[in-house]
Amino acid sequence: MTGPLPDPFAGQPDWAPLPPRPIEIVPATGRVELRGRRVLVGLPGLGWRGDLRADERVVQGSRTYVPIIPEHEWYRAESDQVEVFAPLVPVERVWVETLADRPAAAAGSTREQAIRLVSLDGPTHRPPTPVFETDAVSGRRVVHVEDSVEHRDLRAVTESYSGADGDICVRVTPELEWYRWAWRGQPPTTLEVPVHLLWIE
């Protein structure tokens, strides 16, 4: 037998998990539902603050406002059914995280390692990054992609480690349990996930 052995994965791009859909940031002034959505607030040219959730718009006089709640307080309000303080932010200063369509994979594309410059006219979000390409993951929002299903609203509770079966893994927990860990001291239930199935959101 002469010649190279055939590539068993040639023509079968589905053997590796697809990245999750990226986050797209859109103005809250558009027709987008706000209750419970992740939002960013700020001013063009100044900067943006995240880890916030929104409630439905409020109209006072001729102005529209959005009640903005720190994400840990939003989870506490939803879980314990308590009232929390929510300052009203003018709707034009609020931007909403939405899920965009998955971009078409470019053949032979490689992830850029150069500095990525952005416009200060509006907030931006980096594309999903595989966990195995990052230097730190603990506490970060992650997406677990399994059989093309995206499991979101998760937080990493460990860095990468060698699991019992020899896989490189990260333990993750639902965000509700992540925040409950802070306000009640109740340790979260975690799931061990191989790093090749995890992406930084």
pTM score of the predicted model: 0.83
CATH of the domain at 144: 2.30.30
Asked if 139 and 73 sit in the same domain, the reply is: no
Please indicate, yes or no, if residue 81 is contained in any of the structural domains. Answer: yes
Asked if 136 and 80 sit in the same domain, the reply is: no
Asked if 134 and 194 sit in the same domain, the reply is: yes
User: What whole-number distance in Å separates Cα of residue 73 and Cα of residue 34?
Assistant: 16
pLDDT in tens, 131-187: 999 989 999 999 999 988 999 999 999 999 998 888 999 999 999 999 999 999 989
3-state secondary structure at position 156: strand
Asked if 93 and 145 sit in the same domain, the reply is: no
Number of folded domains that form the chain: 2
Q: Range of 180's domain? A: 129-200
Place of tokens 């002469």: 2
Q: Are the C-beta atoms of 28 and 89 separated by less than 8 Å?
A: no
Please indicate, yes or no, if residue 17 is contained in any of the structural domains. Answer: no
- Within 13 Å and on the Cβ side, how many CA atoms surround 143? 21
Predicted local confidence at residue 102, as pLDDT: 79
Asked if 91 and 28 sit in the same domain, the reply is: yes
Asked if 93 and 29 sit in the same domain, the reply is: yes
Asked if 38 and 77 sit in the same domain, the reply is: yes
User: What whole-number distance in Å separates Cα of residue 95 and Cα of residue 42?
Assistant: 8
Indicate the average pLDDT of the chain. 88
Asked if 182 and 133 sit in the same domain, the reply is: yes
Please indicate, yes or no, if residue 106 is contained in any of the structural domains. Answer: no
Asked if 153 and 89 sit in the same domain, the reply is: no
Please indicate, yes or no, if residue 119 is contained in any of the structural domains. Answer: no
| pLDDT category of residue 108 using cuts at 50, 70 and 90 | very low
Residues 6+ apart with CB under 8 A from 139: 155, 156, 157
Please indicate, yes or no, if residue 64 is contained in any of the structural domains. Answer: yes
pLDDT score of 23 more than 90: yes
Q: Which helix (H) or strand (E) holds 34?
A: none
**What angle is formed at CA 186 by the lines to CA 184 and CA 188, rounded to 5 degrees?**
130
Please indicate, yes or no, if residue 163 is contained in any of the structural domains. Answer: yes
End residue of a domain, out of 77, 99, 121: 99
